[in-house]
Amino acid sequence: MILLKRASPRLKDASISAERYEGLYHDLMLTVRKIYHTCRLVHADLSEYNLLYHADELWIIDVSQSVEHDHPSAFEFLRMDLKNVKVFFEGRGVRCLTVVKAFEFVTRESLDKSEGDVLREWLEIEEEDVGSGDHDEEVKTKLEDEAAAHKATEDSVFMRSFIPRSLNEVLDPERAVLARAAPNGSGAVEGVTKGVPLSPERNTKVRFTGVPQQEDESNDDEEEGDGDVSEEETEGRVFTDRQPRGHRHEDKEAKKVWGLLVSSMGDLFDHAKTGEEKGRQGGTTGKTENENAQSREKEEDQKFEGRWLTGV
């Protein structure tokens, strides 16, 4: 008797009962969280094509292409992984977390309960968002469609949002923290995930329009100290960005024009200097020729006088 060994099928091609998909989704979400926190990795290509169904369980393959959780693109890869998982299991009739909640579940450092209990509670909350109370089929269908559209919009915005990894990448850290701590959480996305990373060259200054300012005589590279100003003094004033000082902040065109001007002035100076030297040389040459002519004339006079005296 010959036993033929066959490779375990991919999740996409596996024959699985409809009831089993929900349990597989739970196990996969817990595994993704464990990979992120224990292994410090993000798969970066997680989908039904890189999941094998063997012995009634899911096995993740192609882990060699994963990246560390502090990789610059780790969050983007993780969002795409969670989106692929959601699309596949929702197509099999499984109730899934939105990409936003799934991302929070995977990346949150600590949970108040066990991971499995938290996942079940969050899934129940997702189902309750459709609405409470008794509704007929038409109203219930309408509420489900509205909830699905809202979640789809939320996921779409989240997939395109910027996720800062440090406070240096947040435009206004204090505002972001306050928005994050808002009771309804409405400002979390606007204050945190839509932050714009600041360039290291950016150096914003604040000045008061129409108010005399005392110029700081310190070096260009030193930071100016901010004085304590009361709220009454700042009321009604307009804040504007001040042009940073220093050669590195000057306009490139201005630098170019200034360089051409300096070069032209240098050429004129060299030309004038050369002309002066030539004039001096010409004057010296003329003076030497006059002296030579006078000495020759004097010699001829002496010779003539000598001939007259001797009678030669």
pLDDT tens per residue, range 271-302: 666 666 666 665 555 566 677 777 777 777 76
45 is catalytic: yes
Q: Is the pLDDT of residue 96 over 90?
A: yes
What is 20-131+140-160's CATH number? 1.10.510.10
Which among 13, 27, 56, 62 is annotated as catalytic?
62
Q: What mean pLDDT is reported for the chain?
A: 75
- Tens of pLDDT, residue by residue over 229-240, are 555 555 555 555
The ranges assigned to domains in the chain are 20-131+140-160, 249-310
The residues facing 58 across adjacent strands are 53
Instruction: Catalytic residue, from 13, 27, 45, 136: name it.
Output: 45
Query: CA dist 20 to 25, 89, 182, Å?
Result: 9, 11, 39
State the Cα torsion 242-245-249-250 to the nearest 10°: 100
pTM metric for this prediction: 0.55
Catalytic-residue membership of 27: no
Residue 5 has a pLDDT of: 73
